[in-house]
A and B are shown apart, each in its own frame.
Chain A
Amino acid sequence: MILSVRDLKVSFRTHDGPVRAIDGVSFDLEESEILGVVGESGSGKTVSLLAVMGLITDPNATIEGSIRYKGRELVGLPPRELRRLRGNEIAMIFQDPMTALTPVYTIGWQIAEQIRAHRGLSKSKAMERVEELLAEVNFPNPHEAMSRYPHQLSGGMRQRAVIAMALSCDPALLVADEPTTALDVTVQAGILDLVRKLRAKHKSAVVFITHDMGVVSELADRVMVMYAGRVVERGTRTELFSDPRHPYTRALLGSIPPLTGQKPRRLPAIPGSPPSLLRLPQGCAFGPRCPVRYEPCEAGKPGLGASAHAAACFRVAQA
């Protein structure tokens, strides 16, 4: 087991009162497994992963629950210890590659710096490794690319450079937060292909955050669907896409226009919009938008249960 998260809760104090961004999230991740986390803005998918990385440093935040990495508890670990893990054993890729790159150094220098910091290699040894890494992430001319500055590269190439940086220390866990959202589909296809290959080669476990159901279905082994800070459904890729159970998952899948076959005259849309975490509805957060809600949904929050393919819904539990 690489990662085991139990009953993770993250709340922030704000001017408008406390906001619970994450409300009891639990999941496990095995070696070389890809977990897809799907959700809309405000669903808590990014915050839960920032918590895992120990990157929530806001003094107004409280983190409860347990995050175990290879059996070691990360919640409450001193920042120095966390820094040793981050970038070395746990790596992260963000949506905008420029957040991970500095404009004033070359790509080669930046990736080498990380290898030198974590592995203590000499400058020339580190540079050799950088060239290998850039070749691995399909830079057409890795040697030349090393001397390039980020602004001289296209968005797709920058994201590849960040992936090379993330892989530089052979991480056991790779967290990717919407890494392809800002990219064109043709470039995205290449990056997804790369993630699959790297997983096979490095045996890294991957947590892949996205709002795109298509991306998840192409990449993930297991899927977790989040809504308003809670996991509403989890299961294997096949379970989730061939037998979606939660009304939110079903509605979301139904509202995606098809790429082949007959076009529906109207799309089956979900009414309303995702709730504000400041004003969550009573009971089930999806209740007000749910086509199958009934009395129990307003009374309490449905739990996920223990089974492998589970949905947090009273209707599903009842069936």
Chain B
Amino acid sequence: MATPTMDKVEAEAAASDHLITVTFRIRRFNPEISADAVWEDFQLEIDPKERVLDGLHKIKWDLDGTLTFRRSCAHGICGSDAMRINGKNRLACKTLIKDINPAKPITVEPIKGLTVLKDLVVDMDPFFQAYRDVMPFLVTSGNEPTRERLQTAEDRERFDDTTKCILCAACTSSCPVFWNDGQYFGPAAIVNAHRFIFDSRDEAGEQRLEILNDKDGVWRCRTTFNCTDACPRGIEVTKAIQEVKRALITRRF
């Protein structure tokens, strides 16, 4: 069966007439070359329906192989490509070019508050340390059951929002308190503590509340809502933090 085909010139025109020229203004830093970070512009032809991550790939693969950034799944699940795009924390793999005004240069910077290692890569160790400190795992006592630990739909619903976290650090690195003092646990750690504190099957809620009652714990939150606005999973982060605060006051959960 014959397949209808376009001639070559026609095909090339059809393939490129939806492309637009976009400037990517990227914050570059390489400690082996200079102690200062600099802005570098890249111009590329790109389909506005593509994502910022696709633009970064084009730059790295075709224009400058030294551009360094993290990405793994590239589909908004692994949480490794959080960066500051046009001044706000977002996942590069979930941000479409057409949604962020491609007429102007698109600025891409590393997330704030964590040490920049190279270009868009930051040291995530302090972030994950805060996460580990809140014991993000199920704690129970007694013999292990021979079947699943059951829970009612309402009990599951109680902490549903905070189970969505992908640990991308978009929230923690959008927090003005965290920028000023990296000792603060940060929204992500509190969200993951919330996930277990309000889980009816877990028995270490009291312990986690005590950890977050620390001077660098939940009370440092100033409710600026940057975390809620930045979360790529739409978690109501500030609401979760406020629930932990209220649980600390009332000790009822």
Q: Do A and B come from one complex?
A: no
- Give B contacts to A, CB under 8 Å: none
